[in-house]
Structure 1
Amino acid sequence: MAEQKPSNFQQAITGEWHGLPSVFDVDGSHTGFNKVNRASVFEGDKVTYWMETDFQNSGPLRNRFDTAGARFEFGVIDSDQDRVYCGPDFMGAGRPYGLLVDSNYYSPGWNTDLRTVNLIIPERGIQVYSSQLFEADTLVAVFNGLYVVTQDHDNNVDEQNMVREFLENEQKAAKKPFILPVKESGQWRGTLQVHDDKQQHIGETEVIIDYRPLTLRSAEMTVTMKGAIERRFTYRRSRVDNVHTFEGPDVYGNGRAYGRYLWSIQHFYGEAFKLKSRDTLIDDNHSLCSVWQFYQSNKEQYTVFGLMEWTPTDTVLGAQYVR
């Protein structure tokens, strides 16, 4: 019998991951944190996923999600097509796309259906994580945050110090809202990976987002994609608190932010084409980690993801004077 090998995603997540995901209520209010250590361990004929949590939270969500120190541990059927979660803590599956896995599963202990997206950004040494938690189609909470990985945390003082400093920074940064530059125009640029509806990597698309504030709460954006996907579209976007609106002329839709993370749905005008996105501001330089899923005729067509860096150009909403 041929030796079983770990899937590509299983290889990419080797090690112990450390994070301090934020916990948000349905309106987007930050209610606390959940300190997490977790790993997916490949042992030849089986894969075991374990997770240790410390739910540092207040209010009604604590009663629902605090596990009183119980360790999550569940089996995984590992493959490059599907990662199937076999319980007892989670039942469902994840769909891998290279360094991304898009999962949907059920938690009996939390009585929630989860949509979890994990994307590894190797150049930053982080994993960008989020979970939306539902009762059927009704959202009840959101978890999100960044993770770093270690290979010998228990015995390596340098790794322990790195994790401690990272978690301290996460505690400060995780509550920051998703707000794009208020007064400066500029560009985001990046190379995003493109997978088709069969999860096959079909290439890259170079993305440029030209951004220009119009008011303190609105801006015009033009997105240009070249490569595996060729698209150009312009829209005005506005924000009221954590609710974002996309107002044409090329796309229309809305979104809601939970801390640094924005989920949105954008419909392309005059086409049976739409975009479901999760965008994350991962640092104070407005670096944007994006997961974009395009749908044609309500069917998945492309899954696109990667990192885009921000370059400011000039201040367009400077001081005003009356002479």
Structure 2
Amino acid sequence: MAEPSEWQTRIAGEWHGRPSLFDATGTWQGYEDIRRSSVFENGSTTYYMDGGLEGGGPLAGRFRLGAPFAFGVVDSDSDRVYTGPDFHGTGQPYGGFVDAHYYGPGWQVDLNTWNHVLPDGETQVYSSTLYQGWALVGCFNGVYRRSTDYDTNAGTRAEIERFLDGETRNGPVPYVLPTKASGAYSGTCELWGADQKPAGEVAVSIELEPLDLLRTRHRVTWSGALDRNHTVDVRRDGFRSFYEGPGAWGNAQAFGRANYPVLHFGDVWKAKGREFMIDARPGMSAGETLAVVYELFKGNVLAGVLHGVLAWEAA
């Protein structure tokens, strides 16, 4: 390939983050300091990841390494193939979102990584769920910020340091929605087909009606290129949530600020998602900005991907 793909152009530069590590129960374990970049040169792409694990608890021995990551990528806007030596697998872009499945020999885990570049082009929401066979063993997730002159510009370095300080404070904060205020998270999302082509815009609204401190009624509306709506009562139990009808059934596991639901709608459709509360902070409050991704399945076949940013407005 003589020119980089659209996705490769979208993620040019260096990205800085401090994703948190959680065990399979959702319990916070530590941080991973990461500087991540990808270089397209002479028709080929190489990814670089440099950093280190701080903390980690019982998982530290598995996820602490003695050298930076580097791996080749067959660059494409259809199938991106990771050719090793540090990661082997593939990923598929859907606009500003990539769903990647691969194996990391150093960490000895199978990974499902979701990278979502937000509409500002400078912020990336990241998560990797980590598997031993079919069993979940942990999750890394967090927010990345882009820089193009980190090593040469003191102002950029100071800005990135402030951002990383915020990720340090906020990374372990558990996902929670407002428990006493009615309102809605709403915004315009992009819909992409399973063929990785844009399918239009969808107005998304998640209207919340708290029933008590642990149960909330969700009235969810998608309209535009996709028209669906459902009402569901959601019960939170620690890091877990349960969706108990009448319009959807399923459950979710949260790792820090990110909630990972799987929903069945009572017909042939189901959804697998990530809802990331970007501005969640310590204290007795909920955040106001949700970055959402939903993979939509008809039967067991991917039919589309819906992603975007939703903002809170109290009723």
Shared fold, TM over 0.5: yes
Instruction: Specify the alignment match of 1:154 in structure 2.
Output: 151
3-state secondary structure, aligned to 2:182: strand
1:1-26 C-alpha deviation (Å, 9 max, x unpaired): xx711111100001000000000011
- Supply the AA of the counterpart residue of 1:34: E
Alpha carbon RMSD of aligned pairs, Å? Answer: 1.0
For 2:22, give the aligned amino acid: F
- What amino acid maps onto 1:288 in structure 2? L
Counterpart residue type for residue 53 of structure 1: G
Cα distance in 1 between the residues matched to 2:42 and 2:276: 35
* Aligned partner letter, 2:6: N
Q: 1:9 aligns to what?
A: 7
Aligned residues: percent identity?
39
| Offset at residue 189 of structure 1 (A) | 1.1
Q: 1:51 — aligned with what?
A: 49
Paired AA for residue 303 in structure 2: Q
1: distance between equivalents of 2:193 and 2:312? 27
Mapping for residues 1-323 of structure 1, pairs under 5 Å: 4-68=2-66, 70-123=67-120, 125-269=122-266, 271-284=267-280, 285-313=287-315
Contact 2:21 2:56 in 1 (8 A): no
Alpha-carbon contact 1:5-1:44 (below 8 Å) kept: no
Q: Deviations over 1:124-148 (max 9, x none)?
A: 7310000001011011110000000
TM superposition outliers: structure 1 runs of 4+ over 2 Å: 122-125
CA positional deviation for 1:45? 1.5
Distance change >3 Å, CA 279–CA 183, structure 1 → 2: same
- Distance in 1, matches of 2:61 and 2:71, equals 22
Shift of 1:27: 0.8
Q: Is residue 254–residue 264 contact of structure 1 (8 Å, CA) maintained in 2?
A: yes
**Inter-partner Cα distance in structure 2 for 1:124 and 1:218:** 35
Q: Describe the SS at the equivalent of 1:215.
A: coil
User: Which digits, 9 at most, give the CA deviation of each residue in 1:166-225, with x for residues without a partner?
Assistant: 000000011111100010000111111001111111111011221110000111111111
Contact 2:30 2:57 in 1 (8 A): no
Partner SS state of residue 183, structure 1: coil
**What is the one-letter code of the residue matched to 1:297?**
G
Match of 1:317 in 2: none
Contact 2:233/2:245 (<8 A) preserved: yes
Aligned residues of 1:130 and 1:143 also touching (Cα < 8 A): yes
With normalisation by structure 2, the TM-score equals 0.96
Aligned residues: 309
- Segments of structure 2 that go 5 or more residues without pairing to the other structure are 281-286
Q: TM-score, normalised by structure 1?
A: 0.94
Secondary structure of the residue aligned to 2:211 is: strand
**Comparing 170-179 and 123-132, the one that deviates more:** 123-132
Shift of 1:46: 1.0
Query: Match of 1:303, as an amino acid?
Result: V
Using the alignment, how far apart are the partners of 2:42 and 2:220 within structure 1?
Answer: 45
Q: Is the 8 A contact 2:10 2:121 kept in 1?
A: no
Gaps of 5+ in 1: 314-323
Partner of 1:321: none
Shift of 1:44: 3.0
> Larger Rg: 1 or 2?
1
- Classify the secondary structure of the residue corresponding to 2:279: coil
Q: What whole-Å deviation, never above 9, does each CA across 1:11-61 have from its counterpart, x for those lacking one?
A: 000100000000001111101100000101111311010000211014221
**CA distance, structure 2, for counterparts of residue 151 and residue 53 of structure 1:** 18
